[in-house]
Amino acid sequence: MPDETTTTTNAPPPVRDWPALDLHGVDFDPVLAGLMEEGPVTRVRLPNGSGWAWLVTRYDDVRMVTNDPRFSRKLVAEHDVTRLAPHFVPVDGAVGFEDPPEHTRLRRAVAPAFTTRGVERLRDRAREMLDELVAGVLRDGPPADLTERLLAPFPLAVVCELMGVPAADRPRMHEWTNLILSCAQGAERSQRAKDEMCGYFADLLRERRGSGGEDVIGLLASAVAAGEVTESESVGLALLIQIGGEAVSNNTGNMLFILLTRPELRDRLGAEPELRPRAMEELLRYIPHRSAVGLSRIALEDVTIAGTRIRAGEAVYVSYLAANRDPDVFADPERVDFDRSPNPHVAFGYGPHFCVGAMLARLESELLLDALVDRFPELRLAVPATEVRFRRGALIRGPESVPATWS
Ligand code: HEM
């Protein structure tokens, strides 16, 4: 537990610049590593926004901040907090920018789509879509870019199915998502993509009014009709779920890169299929899913964390990536250890903003890992690992393409 009684230090730590880095592979961000070394609570300045913010990196402190109502998300939208992205990803009033009880109300509107039953409802359809994609890759033969052929289209198809977005609209969803999740295109281009996607969902919600249905748009349309959420709240929520859905492409791209560059890990998954669920959790823990940090929180009152006094009104970031490497919780944290148990990682976040799509992400990753290991037993990179291109200027890290071959 964070120690509230520790003596508060007087001199605040120096403000460190945290530039946008285009890192290769699953290299851990050296700036973050340095900050973790410096202390449990440091101060950072990111490329956009103004001023500085606190950064909390230890596992217990991260869980405390993310689960403590003294830190608000709602207030972030009102501050020009120093940040990585030139723009804010969530729309005002969407779940990312709400606090309980409003936040709980919004999440409740779509909860049935994300329960075990809701996610399992998609399993057969998801498997079918993946089988089709895999069959196409096998039919065309090696080499193939597995990002283009599997890791991008599969999560996109699943999230569109979850949402109730027609298959014909998948390409534009993909394009808008990429633009919104980029910090390289400038705030204006990202904002335009966000507005266009919002317009799309507003139309779809109107079309679906009164139609019911178990997909996200159906649930949101019913919630709007019942007066439980407003139209603009449901548009903001739809946008976040849609773009969140594609996170799986990047995450499984990183998983694949690890398996193809460390054949001993891949061989174990082939030889010991029962190990796969645990291996997947370990890969989730280990993968540096994002660049720098996401959305901050604003302290509503003075709070002391690990001896450092944070004043009301100041912005605080947590790093889930850093928490997942906390040696007090994960022995030998730099090692990918498929036997790690327990593995209480926070790759999907913690507290009320815990990833709404965690169960769906696990389902998709499980299906993809099974397909990659079982259907492509001889899979290997078609280029040297150093030549695999990783996304640049992206908020979420992952390979742009994974050129692979097999016999
Ligand atoms: C491996 C894939 C994924 C990872 C690693 C991941 C990780 C995360 C993390 C760390 C958070 C933020 C917690 C915070 O704000 O403190 C989050 C939030 C969120 N994720 Fe995911 N996610 C993944 C997949 C998905 C999928 C598949 C969806 C949708 C289908 C999704 C939708 C969302 C949404 C809507 C939020 C905002 C929740 C809120 O603020 O209440 N994510 N995710």
CATH among 1.25.40.320, 1.10.630.10, 3.40.228.10, 3.40.50.970 for 15-405: 1.10.630.10
> Does the pLDDT at position 53 exceed 50?
yes
Q: Is 333's C-beta closer than 6 angstroms to any atom of ligand 1?
A: no
Q: Is 158's C-beta closer than 6 angstroms to any atom of ligand 1?
A: no
**Which atom of ligand 1 is closest in space to residue 240's alpha carbon?**
35
> Domain extents for the chain?
15-405
Which of 375, 378, 368 lies closest to 406 in space, CA to CA? Answer: 378
Query: Dihedral of CA 252/258/263/265: which sign?
Result: negative
Q: How far apart are CA 344 and CA 27, in angstroms?
A: 22
- Cα of 354 to ligand 1 centre, how many Å? 7
Length of the chain: 407
> Strand (E) positions, 129-265?
144-145
Q: What is the pLDDT of residues 349-377, one digit of tens each?
A: 999 999 999 999 999 999 999 999 999 99
Which of 251, 260, 259, 261 lies closest to 279 in space, CA to CA? Answer: 259
Q: How far apart are CA 351 and CA 98, in angstroms?
A: 13
Q: What is the pLDDT of residues 59-91, one digit of tens each?
A: 999 999 999 999 999 999 889 999 998 887 777
Q: How far apart are CA 165 and CA 377, in angstroms?
A: 34
Q: Is 289's C-beta closer than 6 angstroms to any atom of ligand 1?
A: yes
Reading the block at residue 124, the tokens are 């057969």
Q: Are 350 and 63 in contact (CB under 8 A)?
A: yes
Q: Is 320's C-beta closer than 6 angstroms to any atom of ligand 1?
A: yes
- Cα of 221 to ligand 1 centre, how many Å? 22
- Cα of 56 to ligand 1 centre, how many Å? 19
Q: What is the pLDDT of residues 144-178, one digit of tens each?
A: 999 999 999 999 999 999 999 999 999 999 999 98
Q: Is 349's C-beta closer than 6 angstroms to any atom of ligand 1?
A: yes
Tell me, what's the pLDDT at 86? 86
pLDDT average, residue stretch 35-64: 97
∠ CA(188), CA(191), CA(196), 5° rounding?
125
Q: What is the pLDDT of residues 309-342, one digit of tens each?
A: 999 999 999 999 999 999 999 999 999 999 999 9
Which of 188, 162, 222, 225 lies closest to 85 in space, CA to CA? Answer: 188
> Strand (E) positions, 124-226?
144-145
Rounded-to-10 torsion of CA 160, 165, 171, 176: -90
Q: What is the pLDDT of residues 267-294, one digit of tens each?
A: 999 999 999 999 999 999 999 999 999 9
- Cα of 267 to ligand 1 centre, how many Å? 30
pLDDT average, residue stretch 33-52: 97
Protein residue whose Cα sits closest to atom 13 of ligand 1:
349
**Which atom of ligand 1 is closest in space to residue 351's alpha carbon?**
16
pLDDT average, residue stretch 193-205: 95
Q: How far apart are CA 157 and CA 170, in angstroms?
A: 7
Reading the block at residue 257, the tokens are 């890169």
3-state helix/strand/coil string of 272-304: CHHHHHHHHHHHHHHCCCECCCCCCEEECCCEE
Reading the block at residue 23, the tokens are 């890192």
End-to-end, the C-alpha distance of the chain in Å comes to: 52
Q: How far apart are CA 152 and CA 158, in angstroms?
A: 11
Which of 246, 267, 272, 204 lies closest to 398 in space, CA to CA? Answer: 246
- Angle of helix 216-225 relative to helix 231-245, nearest 10 degrees, comes to 170
**Which atom of ligand 1 is closest in space to residue 360's alpha carbon?**
27
Q: Is 346's C-beta closer than 6 angstroms to any atom of ligand 1?
A: no
Reading the block at residue 279, the tokens are 């291996």
> Does the pLDDT at position 378 exceed 70?
yes
> Residue 53's beta-bridge partner residues?
44
Q: Are 358 and 348 in contact (CB under 8 A)?
A: yes
Reading the block at residue 344, the tokens are 């209480």
Q: How far apart are CA 59 and CA 62, in angstroms?
A: 5
Tell me, what's the pLDDT at 10? 65
- Cα of 266 to ligand 1 centre, how many Å? 27
Q: Is 248's C-beta closer than 6 angstroms to any atom of ligand 1?
A: yes
∠ CA(378), CA(383), CA(385), 5° rounding?
95
